[in-house]
A and B are shown apart, each in its own frame.
Chain A
Amino acid sequence: MADTQNLRRIIATDCGSTTTKAILIEYVDGEYRQTVRGEAPTTVEQPLNDVTRGVVNAVTELQELAQLKYNDPTIKFTDGDTLFVGKENGIDAYVSTSSAGGGLQMMVTGVVAKMTGESAERAALGAGAIVMDLIASNDKRANYEKIERIRALRPDMILMAGGVDGGTTKHVAEMAELVGAADPKPRLGSSYKLPVIYAGNNKAVDAIEETLKAKTDLIITDNLRPTLERENLGPARDKIHDLFMEHVMAQAPGYNKLMSWAMGPVDGKMKQIPIMPTPAAVGNIMQTIARENDIEVLGVDIGGATTDVFSVFTEDKIFNRTVSANLGMSYSISNVLATAGLDNILRWVPFDIDESGLRNMIKNKMIRPTTIPQKFKELVLEQAIANEALRYAFIQHKEFAVSLKGGQKQREISDAFAQTSSGNSIVDMMTLDLLVGSGGVLSHAPRRNQTAMLLINAFLPEGVTRMAVDSIFMMPQLGVLAEISPKAATEVFEKDCLIYLGSCVAPVGKIKPGKIALSADIKLPNGKTFKEDIPFGEIRMIPLGVGETAKATLTPGRGLDLGVGKNQVLETELHGGVVGLILDTRGRRPFLLPVEASERVPLLLKWMKELQAYPEELLK
């Protein structure tokens, strides 16, 4: 492992589909800190068609800023062509993640969609892939439709699962025949065979090899669902990462050069550090936080093309990740409109806008994804769209993050073909400890209060929940940095990455408007006490700074619950942040917004004012 002697300056980049973000991490005064950051448009497209141009541009900005900061013109990270890794006055290590060029796109197959299919999907998502489709023996499509679909998809690789070890081989062999018949071609170029990872029933390996070995680049690994009760996703995930480097990255423009730059000291020697898919790196860091602090965490990263949701729930710290491939704020913004519908977006907007104007605005953002809202109304609209993108991505996550299906029941796979019921979602907003937001629209919101508002409206946290934002979205870089220096990654994470917004208190249940929903008695560190019986349908914001805590006695209204049972008083310590404490009595399960604009708009304005989300004069 690298030590602080030979790892004093590290550059980490994240090559996103829109922007390449670079951060400089330095070992200063006995600790690692993130010191400067730079960014530049990603350059995987024509005319440059070379991802390293964007990297060099972003690093050049870092270099200029570092020279200014230290008033030292000899600091040299790049000469405009290459990076100075391991050179004097240069950098000691360079690491990178990438989601440019559409990231890693996979197709997965299983026998029973809700069992091995879902496990395969979990393995692919956990490895940072976008799952283009799940094809299963029981997914109700006719075989010829499946073949057509496989052929049309052109994924970067296929992960095949199916059957428990030693079980029946017929269905998984049939799936291999369908894949073989489709003879799928890889997305990037036809000069190599499509990688196919088989992680299913070990008894079927011969049959799979016979069908697929000649046509594809077949890799056999351990069954990811060796028994119905157990998932074993590690080996399949590792294989996906290896192939991502060898095949996908190697095909993308400029990546060979980028891979040769990514290196750092490992056990005293300079070694290449694999480029990680961005979501895999974020997953890495999220799991580290949950484990180290023994908490349940829910994280979201809303990007231009996709929205990723990560969660670590239950005592066993079960990690789940979902990618809502077509919910994003630039390339996919138009699909948010198509998915959520105009009314769902406009219900968060406290002013009138004509449909045609909004449609054209959304489409213009789609075709020119790097533009930013200059006008106040455009900002409010973008945040309303973000609210819906986040909400839908979370719905998809809850549906996916479930307990293993099919386990602990004495029955054969073939019996399970008929099963329609699914496992229960393990996402429990009441037990959630920390909600973390990241991605441009959350990290770069002009006011942190807007970020808090978006997180609350989209995720509807229950009981008491802390909220944070990844200030400049450096979680991907820290996730990959953890591969060479967990110390540097954790130190920077704790000191520079997360900005705590504060805590949200929200009683669950519904009562009539006007009735008391929450009686709060909060002793603030400045000696003052906040005491109020808050009626249903309100929001209160109480300043409580970063690092500060307040002792609170919280009494829910009749029939409501704060996590310790209906009508039960909660004595707790609340954590502050840059926004403070938010007491939200607007109801949970259900949370309802009035349909009529004449009723809804005054409420929205009241809540936005209370949250100081926007300049008050502009809300008039």
Chain B
Amino acid sequence: MAQAYSAGLTVTKSIVLRKDRILPLKGKVLVKKGDKVKAEDLVAETKLPGKVVPFNMANKLGVQANMVTQFLKVKAGDEIKAGQVMAQTKGFFGFFKTGIKSPIDGEIESISKITGQMLLREPRIPVQVKAFLEGIVVEVIENEGVIIENKSAYVQGIFGIAGETTGEIMVLAKNGSEVIKASQVDESCKGKLIVTGAMVTLDVIRKCQEIGVNGIISGGVDDRDLKELLGYDIGVAITGHEDIGVTIVVTEGFGEIKMADATFDLLKEFDGKKASMHGKTQIRAGVMRPEIIIPIPFEGEKLVAEEAKMATLEIGSTIRVIREPNFGHIAKITGLPEKLTKVESETLVRILEAELSNGEKVILPRANVEVIEM
């Protein structure tokens, strides 16, 4: 076999992207097909059902569950206000009646004759979905959301923290190997998406939080710093929900790893341009990788999304080494021998021969590289 399939992360100057922007529950779509939207524009909104508050009416009244309805002043579906009387005891010859009051504003969800329990629901919670991607609404999914399309420069990260944000790209590192210092982050970085080179340290992240930087794009991050920052160890890779005030996208991995030249050069080229990014990562069950999307203006031309394909390992392909030894190095494939080969750990694997950017010739398990798509 002269080629093999390999997972890879996309880094490209121009790609046609389509993004679903869907509500968690059915609701109202606020834009129409053909509309041009900016990242901050609202495209759909809905109201999530409020929190449910169980209320044991039978206990409060001191009666059997099946008798509760006799005392009720409200029925299922009724709106209620906090303090409103929902049921009243019969009292003694009409005196000493006790009113049972609602603890919340909201509505009566249900009343059970079997358990004597009432379920009260707090008012609905509004949820809004923004466009996130600057582009054109190409499809409206009725009551659910929209699909937005645009042409972008695009970087897929390997791991991220925190949700969606936008801002201008600001490259602070001189090159992909540099590790910037906290002192380099100043007021001018506020609201920006900064590019930090091979690593972002805890000091830098803290400074970013203090100044109000919107996003950090880095080659690597140290796991100990991350634990310190979040206050817990990330067990399973499902991220994006962290509330830390700044979104982080890591392009290479954990530790100090030079940001690939292709990635760094692309970000440098778009220095000062507006971009959208998110740190949402999910490595199993519907894989999600963090993204940096830099919209490119386009006029009239018809956008054609490329058909999804799997990256292949071929002689001449540019690869990134994704495990020790030579982790993080960029290399070119020089050979793809078919025979299984024993590596130092005595594991029998399919290997490839490659030349690192420093000229060194190495053999690597095929599983330990990924193709960089340009």
Chain B residues, Cβ within 8 Å of A602: none
The reply to whether the CB of A41 lies closer than 8 angstroms to some CB of chain B is: yes
Q: A148-B51, A375-B345 are in contact. Are A338 and B233 (CB under 8 A)?
A: yes
Q: A173-B114, A356-B224, A371-B322 are in contact. Are A53 and B285 (CB under 8 A)?
A: no
Q: A17-B284, A64-B1, A368-B253 are in contact. Are A207 and B114 (CB under 8 A)?
A: yes
Q: Given the complex of chains A and B, what is the CA–CA distance between A332 and B347 in angstroms? A: 22
Stretch at the interface among B77-85, B186-194, B360-368: B360-368
Binary flags per residue of A39-59, CB closer than 8 Å to B gives 1, else 0: 011011111110001000100
Q: A356-B224, A446-B345, A447-B346 are in contact. Are A369 and B283 (CB under 8 A)?
A: yes
B236→A326 contact, CB < 8 A: yes
Chain B residues, Cβ within 8 Å of A144: 51-54
User: Which of B222, B236, B367 sits near A356, CB closer than 8 Å?
Assistant: B222
Q: Given the complex of chains A and B, what is the CA–CA distance between A304 and B114 in angstroms? A: 46
User: Which of A102, A147, A374, A379 sits near B368, CB closer than 8 Å?
Assistant: A374
A376→B112 contact, CB < 8 A: no
Q: Given the complex of chains A and B, what is the CA–CA distance between A101 and B283 in angstroms? A: 10
Binary flags per residue of A556-583, CB closer than 8 Å to B gives 1, else 0: 0000000000000000000000000000
Which residue from chain B places its CB closest to the CB of A142 in the assembled complex?
B54
User: Which of A334, A374, A375, A379 sits near B237, CB closer than 8 Å?
Assistant: A334
The reply to whether the CB of A363 lies closer than 8 angstroms to some CB of chain B is: yes
A181→B110 contact, CB < 8 A: yes
Q: Given the complex of chains A and B, what is the CA–CA distance between A148 and B52 in angstroms? A: 8
B159→A367 contact, CB < 8 A: yes
Within 8 A of B (CB), among A298-313: 304-305
Q: Given the complex of chains A and B, what is the CA–CA distance between A185 and B236 in angstroms? A: 22
Chain B residues, Cβ within 8 Å of A368: 158, 253, 322-323, 370
Q: Given the complex of chains A and B, what is the CA–CA distance between A335 and B368 in angstroms? A: 22
Chain A residues, Cβ within 8 Å of B322: 364, 368, 371
Binary flags per residue of B327-358, CB closer than 8 Å to A gives 1, else 0: 10000000000000001111111000000000
Within 8 A of B (CB), among A152-191: 169-170, 173-174, 177-178, 180-183, 185, 190
Within 8 A of B (CB), among A331-347: 331-332, 334-335, 337-339
B110→A177 contact, CB < 8 A: yes
Which residue from chain B places its CB closest to the CB of A444 in the assembled complex?
B347
The reply to whether the CB of B42 lies closer than 8 angstroms to some CB of chain A is: no
Q: A177-B115, A361-B324 are in contact. Are A371 and B255 (CB under 8 A)?
A: no
- Interface magnitude class on chain B: 35 or more
Which residue from chain A places its CB closest to the CB of B25 in the assembled complex?
A190
Q: A331-B284, A363-B223, A364-B322 are in contact. Are A371 and B367 (CB under 8 A)?
A: yes
Chain B residues, Cβ within 8 Å of A48: 308, 310
B347→A360 contact, CB < 8 A: no
Q: Given the complex of chains A and B, what is the CA–CA distance between A348 and B41 in angstroms? A: 55
Within 8 A of B (CB), among A350-379: 355-357, 359-376, 378-379
Within 8 A of B (CB), among A250-298: none
Which residue from chain A places its CB closest to the CB of B8 in the assembled complex?
A47
Q: Given the complex of chains A and B, what is the CA–CA distance between A304 and B109 in angstroms? A: 43
- What distance in Å separates the Cβ of B73 from its nearest Cβ neighbour in chain A? 21
- What distance in Å separates the Cβ of B9 from its nearest Cβ neighbour in chain A? 10
Chain B residues, Cβ within 8 Å of A338: 233-235
Q: Given the complex of chains A and B, what is the CA–CA distance between A463 and B309 in angstroms? A: 54
A371→B309 contact, CB < 8 A: no
- Besides A43-B310, A359-B222, A372-B347, 4 more A-B contacts (Cβ < 8 Å) are A177-B112, A185-B25, A355-B224, A364-B322
Top 4 closest A-B pairs, CB basis? A102-B285, A45-B287, A47-B308, A335-B235
Show 8 A/B contacts (Cβ-Cβ < 8 Å), sorted by A. A64-B1, A101-B285, A170-B115, A181-B119, A331-B236, A335-B236, A355-B224, A368-B323
Q: B residues near A, CB below 8 A?
A: 1, 5, 7, 25-26, 49, 51-54, 65, 109-110, 112, 114-115, 117, 119, 121, 158-159, 222-224, 227, 233-237, 253-255, 281, 283-287, 308-310, 322-325, 327, 343-349, 364-365, 367-368, 370
Q: A residues near B, CB below 8 A?
A: 17, 40-41, 43-49, 53, 57, 64, 101-102, 143-144, 147-148, 169-170, 173-174, 177-178, 180-183, 185, 190, 207, 211, 304-305, 326, 331-332, 334-335, 337-339, 355-357, 359-376, 378-379, 444, 446-447, 615
